[in-house]
Amino acid sequence: MYDLKSEDPEEPGLPDEFHIYQPQLLRETFRPPTYSPDEVFVASDLNLYYDSRHPLWYKRSDWYAVVGVSKLYEGKDLPLSYVVWQEGVNPFVVVELLSPGTEKEDLGQNLRVVDQPPTKWQVYEHILRVPYYIVFDRYTDTLRAFILQADRYTEVNLAQPRLWMPTLELGLGLWQGTYQGIDRLWLRWYDVNGNWIPTPAEQQAQRAERLAAKL
């Protein structure tokens, strides 16, 4: 079933299932060994407020991770948004999942309109200075990675669809496999040995297999 356009030209539409499952897989496999779980905050489709001078301006990234900050608001509750000037730590990596309506915005091809908020690209590159910006096009199975160098994003020439992030001791790459009953190329995290980080369900299955082998 394909998405049909709304009769309302201002209606942005709701996320499709891929935009639900893919961020979920990223969340389940993002376990940087250099940080404790309590120091890792990940979010998808959660408002990211980035400028204290314009406190109502925000971007809603498909997925992003912040390290070195509590995953709970004031250490006790799930956050309703992420406010950079309150938390004091910018996202370390942002992932955008391309769709026909967001491609130009996500790839920095739109110019900023006068008296309007900056584009996503401008926010990630110039305001938040996010070290790693990842873009995945599921329609062409294309992975693109941008690293912040000298105040500008430089695209990485990926010989393979994988990118290692030394600070995290994790890498991000494309994996062919079945997740949530869907077999396709997925974006997920891998460890220093190149092994894919298992999801909780995969860990449980592995434990069951080991137990069965002992019987």
Could you report the per-residue pLDDT of 193-212, keeping only the tens digit for each? 999 999 999 999 888 888 88
Mean of all residue pLDDT scores within the chain? 90
Confidence class for position 116, pLDDT limits 50, 70, 90: confident
Distance CA(47)–CA(60), nearest Å, equals 5
Contact indicator for 167, 130 with CB cutoff of 8 Å: no
What pLDDT score does 8 carry? 40
Of the candidates 162, 150, 148, the one whose C-alpha atom is nearest the C-alpha of residue 190 is 162
pTM of the model as a whole: 0.88
- Does the pLDDT of residue 3 top 70, yes or no? no
Confidence class for position 147, pLDDT limits 50, 70, 90: very high
Of the candidates 68, 118, 115, 112, the one whose C-alpha atom is nearest the C-alpha of residue 93 is 68
Structure tokens at 79: 């956050």
Contact indicator for 132, 156 with CB cutoff of 8 Å: no
Distance CA(32)–CA(191), nearest Å, equals 9
The phi and psi torsions of 105 (rounded to 5 degrees) equal: -65, -45
